[in-house]
Structure 1
């Protein structure tokens, strides 16, 4: 058998003893790990096996307690005590020595330690073997047929019991088996049964068959060990590759978001009056392009946040009529432009228990997907009331999905009908996000589809009672509230600082800027710089992180301002760290409307909830 391994092949083990005990597997690239695994598995069985053998030996003594002499019984039980004490001392020393410690066979010293324990078990096996070998000499001379058959049954059980050692250390098994069967074979050979001779060949035949079986088990278990370890290595390789991919995407996303952030802010800061009428269409197309790019990046961010576990579900009683109305407003123009009919059921006043932002995103993704892949006909949202829950279906007359591909479409970057990866058709993340959001809320998701007959996605939502207090939608105060708002911007990218400053000044805010911790300390040292809001980047290059900014602000200012973190980072570990801060967080590239909405949030409103649940 050849084993390919990501690890460097080890040097061939040398020494006759190594080759005898390893039976050739020391040549394998994973031999060191296999050595530890078989040693560990074997040692797990040693204690119970020795205890069972000791019990069998005591049963033998009890069988002859009335027929054997006191001296014979004393010798037998004395040998049991001696062998049992040896086993207990060696195993106790092993467990104390190995407690919380895994030997590494790639280190010569530890490899020798495993070999020493192997020899210790070989010694114990010989002790037990020679003890049982004395049994015919002590008891079988004047034994009855019942006693002889009882002894043979115990010997059979004891000889075939050590399953692990038979497969992992056949030499240890043979060391036990040989003296036992030699003694019984000699006893059977000396028995005169006239013309019957088969009993004389029984012991060597049993020895040969058990030794052959032991070697066959050895080959099988070594192959199984090698396969399992190779699979573990492959799994680790895949995990490492996935982590590397995540780091690469996070780094690339961060670097892309920085200039896009500046471009979005510059665009938001340009007033309509500054654009000539002839340039308005181009100006609007520029804004649409920036928005589309931002949405693509946000889809990548959504997947990262869901996989990182930082998107928390906050269910509440949601007005289904209001939710469907919002979908109708958003998607009716899109359907009309493609000449499609958008039909959305108008249910009576009914409430469902779910996270509003996540559920809205689920249906937005499903509707966008349905409209994209439907050229003629209609896209419908229908509702079936099942008393305790609702089944909401998004149905289309599009191209449909073959049954063989119906699981694949929920994977990332899968687009069955976009092999050329046209950017206008998205990234293939919409349904992957739908599946994750349904799993997070524990909402059943089903798909029915046939090629040429459209697709139908079913989402089941639990019904609930209307809230005691009506949930009034959030309405920002007049933009005049931003006039005079004192804002401190902390970012190490000059373009972002300039663009963000221009945007805030266009809203009549008072703005201070800092491009690092030293600059931040200088600004806060000015008596006039008492910000109400601090907008800080997450990563300030070599000058610290958001946590350092928070520490400086808390140390210098008496009145702690509202701190908002802006980040282009998508690493799951970093997002979890930022989430634990409990502060509002915006993901670059931040749109002007998004920033304005956050600044207009009342201070008692947990803005972090607003930004973090909007998947």
Structure 2
């Protein structure tokens, strides 16, 4: 019993056969017309001219009729392919019978002309295998009316000038050749149907692959949207906790409570670091990390990272050094480069128990070179390739969470590929590790001679800070921490309320959430404050490191921080912003 799938495949195969007949209909006359004219020429001098001319006109008329019908048969019978094939069989039968009528001149023409006539007819039958793709009903309806009369005529026709066996012998040869043509037609038909089946399967496979690709793209877009949302929504409560924790530590509380607060703060910072790592690797997997090349002063970037990590090094009684710094313009993605170096420094401090870590900068063969060297436990040579794999950690079989997730170096490896940095690792067990980052020579821009700016020591009680955030918890947490620093704090939840607060108490620093959603689409906080307070330093706090604010004016003194913000990062940013004024 035929299944619906078999019926569908058969229907499509018949439609394809009609397309083939329509294409071949325009080519067949180029071979048939010369053949008809040649047969007429062979018989013209020997056979009655009325018979020859009548047959030739009839053959040409049938040929033209067949061409007119078949040239459009695929469009007329697309929804009824079997009816179209039946019509094609009848046309082939008529065509074959008319060609067979040319044998009426056989008694009148000499033996040589008969042989040539026979060769022409058998050649046309052979060509029909190709023009019908071996479709047996089509082939037989044309070839059988020609081949069978040839067998009979040659078997019965007397050849007075030749040996008596030649006629019967040719009859047998024609019969055998006709049988061979039938066999070839069957094989051609099988090959054609198999070819059609393969093309149909390929088309179906391509359709499924396209559907899978569309689904993958949709999943990627969904993942991208999730990551963008997670970067803000997951970091926001941790950011709030981090600020409240830092404020609590600074309060005058008893020693036991201060220890509890310190442990809580360490747990919050560990959670924030692991969240950053997971989001980073997820964005790299999703391919949604953009590269934004800018020109930066490498001195400023490395100095900031050094200041950021000096406290964690001191907590482990480690030396943290920085060497070879100079004010040099480098063309790279500053956010991605900073993330690479931050991961390397954090990793080096984490796995070093005594001695120290050095951050070095140099120029090697016109290529900027950044090195992170530690005196830690070192890495065996057989493990060095594995440490760049996801979730691989050396000497941490118990999966101690204080040692991270094992994703830091995997992120470093992928980010270096994004910004065309060569990374080289050299390490020996017990002697520490050196990781070199070689930037492209094209990234080296020019040397500047601006002296290094020392950040001012601030009288916090004199600093007026305007905090703008539409999330009440985050606003309260940031204002609490700044008040613990003794700053004079004003709060606002929108651009309009921030402008009012600034008129009452002109701030020294504006501290705002980069994702401010104040239902004021026509008011951009940075644009407005640049217009009304052009020299006011602005610190933006964003949900992810690569959030780029819409700047109305590049002259605005601007620093951007990533949530969750630590106390050290916040105070460093305030110092830097006031130093720019």
TM-score (norm 1): 0.61
Aligned-pair RMSD on alpha carbons? 5.8
1:179 to 118, 132, 138: 138
Alpha-carbon distance in structure 1 between the residues aligned to 2:287 and 2:525 = 29
**In 2, are the aligned partners of 1:319 and 1:350 still within 8 Å (CA)?**
yes
Q: Residue 590 of structure 1: SS of its match in structure 2?
A: coil
Aligned equivalent of 1:77: 64
CA distance in 1, matches of 2:201, 2:298: 60
| Structure 1 portions without partners, runs of 5+ | 1-14, 25-34, 91-115, 161-172, 539-544, 608-615
Matched with 1:513 is 492
Distance 1:447 1:153 in 2: 72
Distance (whole Å) between structure 1 residues aligned to residue 500 and residue 304 of structure 2: 51
Select the structure of larger CA radius of gyration: 2
- Match of 1:610? none
Where 1:467 maps in the other structure, the secondary structure is strand
The verdict on how the C-alpha distance between 1:335 and 1:66 changes in structure 2, with shifts beyond 3 A counting, is: farther
Number of residue pairs matched by the alignment: 514
Residues 266 and 499 of structure 1 are in contact (CA less than 8 Å); yes or no, is this contact kept in structure 2? Answer: yes
Measure, in 2, the Cα distance between the counterparts of 1:217 and 1:188: 29
Mapped partners of 1:392, 1:523: distance in 2: 42
Q: Answer yes or no: is 1:535 the counterpart of 2:506.
A: no
Range that drifts further, 297-306 or 329-338:
329-338
Tell me the distance in 1 between the aligned counterparts of 2:463 and 2:217.
51
Q: Which residue of 1 aligns with 2:24?
A: 53
Work out the CA distance in 2 between the residues paired with 1:556 and 1:349: 31
The offset of 1:264, in angstroms, is 1.7
Residue 189 (structure 2) pairs with residue 189 (structure 1): no
Q: 2:563 aligns with which of 588, 604, 607?
A: 588
Q: Quick check: 308-317 or 230-239, which moved more?
A: 230-239
Are 1:546 and 2:517 an aligned pair?
Answer: yes
Please give the per-residue CA displacement for 1:325-378, whole angstroms capped at 9, x wherever unaligned.
977995998699699x99999799998653455334324434655676789999
Structure-1 residue corresponding to 2:402: 424
Identify the residue that residue 7 of structure 2 maps to in structure 1: 21
For the 8 Å contact 1:353–1:463, the answer to whether it is kept is: no
- Give the TM-score normalised by the residue count of structure 2: 0.64
1:501 is aligned to 2:472: no
CA distance in structure 2 between the aligned counterparts of 1:523 and 1:252, rounded to whole angstroms: 27
Q: Quote the offset at 1:46 in angstroms.
A: 8.4
Q: 1 CA distance for matches of 2:327 and 2:525?
A: 48
Q: Residue 186 of structure 2 corresponds to which residue in structure 1?
A: 208
Summarize the Cα distance change of 1:522–1:138 in structure 2 as closer, same or farther, 3 Å threshold. Answer: same
Secondary structure in structure 1 of the residue aligned to 2:492: strand
SS at match of 1:497: helix
Does the 8 Å contact 2:371/2:435 carry over to 1? Answer: yes
Gaps spanning 5+ residues in structure 2: where? 41-55, 104-115, 152-169, 553-557
Match of 2:128 among 144, 149, 155: 155
SS of corresponding position for 1:209: helix
Q: What's the CA shift for 1:139?
A: 4.5
Q: 1:534 to 1:199 in 2, by over 3 A?
A: same
Q: CA 1:55–1:524 in 2, change beyond 3 Å: closer, same or farther?
A: same
Identify which range, 412-421 or 387-396, moves more after superposition: 387-396
Q: Measured at CA, do residues 565 and 343 of structure 1 come closer, stay the same or move farther in structure 2, by a change above 3 Å? A: closer
Q: Do the aligned partners of residues 183 and 411 (structure 1) sit closer, same or farther apart at CA in structure 2, a change above 3 Å counting?
A: farther
Q: Tell me whether 1:268 sits opposite 2:243 in the alignment.
A: no
- The alpha-carbon distance between structure 1 residues 560 and 181, as it changes in their structure 2 partners (threshold 3 A), is farther
